[in-house]
Chain A
Amino acid sequence: MKDIINSLKDVKSNQVYHYANLEIFGYYGASEQINTSINLGNNNNANVYIVNTAVDFETEVNINIKCTGNNNSVTVKSLNIAGKDSSITNVVGVTINKGTKANSAHVNIKNFLLHNSSVILARPDLYIHTDSVECSHGCSMGYFNADQLFYLNTRGIKNAKELLLQGIINSMIVQSAEADKHIERLIDVQRLIS
């Protein structure tokens, strides 16, 4: 059975999880200052999905996951989309303690700068203190793919950027039907593009 947590703000930082199957969502489209810690003891599976959208404001969403026990599987997928005059900070930290065994952690952060005036600071931080671990991290910064834009334009689609951006967001939220409930927290695509 899944333990679904609908906001990073709802995570109890003083709790140590054991044998939990966590699905944690952090969908934000307003100015936030979030620093969340998740403490994993033994035998947990934790999937964290973060989407930050910003226009005309600064926001900071950071998460720190600590594996203090064994047999934990951690996946963090984060998407940051910065529109006009916005700033997003998103640091995802995962610490694997010394002496622990059979933990895995995979962190991927995708970032899209939509305007010359937008800024994103994104960083996957992995602190590995043991050899018995499987970890990966990725962080990409992008803009729209010119070939995709041209292709959609040749189909008569003028607002190709909106469609592509919707696709990028969809590719994050289809991870779980539960996530659909929180989409309204995000800034709509038209406003992000404008």
Chain B
Amino acid sequence: MLRLLDYSVSINGKKLLDKVNFAINPGEIHALLGPNGSGKSSLLNAIMGKTFDVKGKTFFNDKDITELPPDERSKAGIFMTFQQPIEIEGISNMAVVRESVRERDSTVKIKQILTEFKDNASKLELGQDWHQRLFNLNASGGERKKMEILQMLMLKPKLLLLDEIDSGLDVDALHIIAELIKNYLTSDTACIVVSHNFKLYDYLQPSQVHVIANSKLNTYQPNMLQKIKNEGYNQFT
């Protein structure tokens, strides 16, 4: 589904990734780990099309998307949850979702979007008035993360890039979100998960584990998760 070839990412002259190769296929869940500042979020942002100093090629469903801007990548089926979702004044949660959905299909009726929005908000135990509230304004960390998942459910992407979707969530909220992600994933979708919380990996059961260390991406079997949990990242340096 996604392939990165000879992929390098630098930020402010610092090379975070140096000519790495990566592939994920439909039906797969991969864990992406590494110490703080190793470049996990930067890699996800780069896949999403953020304008870093990026070299190499990106293929999505065998199409070269290297030059595609973020909105086109989104419409192609890539979705990223943000570690720290932004807030927007003067625009409601529903308005952002409505615009996002109608960018994909302008014929969808607003009433239909609202019905689906409310249904998903209910699954996430967000308030009855969530659609009217301003986008993430005065929202708790947990509500913001739930809003990320709500957007995922509404936009129905093929590839999920989950950047610390579980940070700031209490145990009940983590359970709700993890179950929704698990139920969403099928043999047609794929998911790259970044988390410092091994509980989320227990829920999602990744089939491959990647560790960023010394600007390289090393790939391991799932049992590496337990080894990292026990021994940390020193073993990679």
Contact = CB atoms under 8 A, between A and B. Distances in A.
Contacts of B71: 153-158, 160
B88 A174 contact: no
Interface string A87-123: 0000000000000000000000000000000000000
Interface stretch (A28-36, A57-65, A132-140, A161-169): A161-169
Interface stretch (A4-12, A69-77, A144-152): A144-152
B70 A150 contact: yes
Range for the number of chain B residues in contact with chain A: 20 to 34
Interface residues of A, number: 23
A82 B135 CA distance: 25
Contacts of A168: 89-90
Contact of B90 (A145, A154, A157, A169): A169
A156 B105 CA distance: 11
Interface stretch (B6-14, B33-41, B95-103, B170-178): B95-103
B91 A166 contact: yes
Interface of A: 145, 147-148, 150-158, 160, 163-164, 166-172, 174
Interface of B: 48-50, 69-71, 73-75, 79-80, 82, 85-86, 88-91, 95-96, 99-100, 103-104, 135, 151, 155
Given A151-B86, A152-B99, A174-B90, 12 more contacts: A147-B86, A148-B88, A150-B50, A151-B82, A154-B70, A155-B74, A157-B96, A157-B103, A163-B88, A168-B89, A168-B90, A171-B89
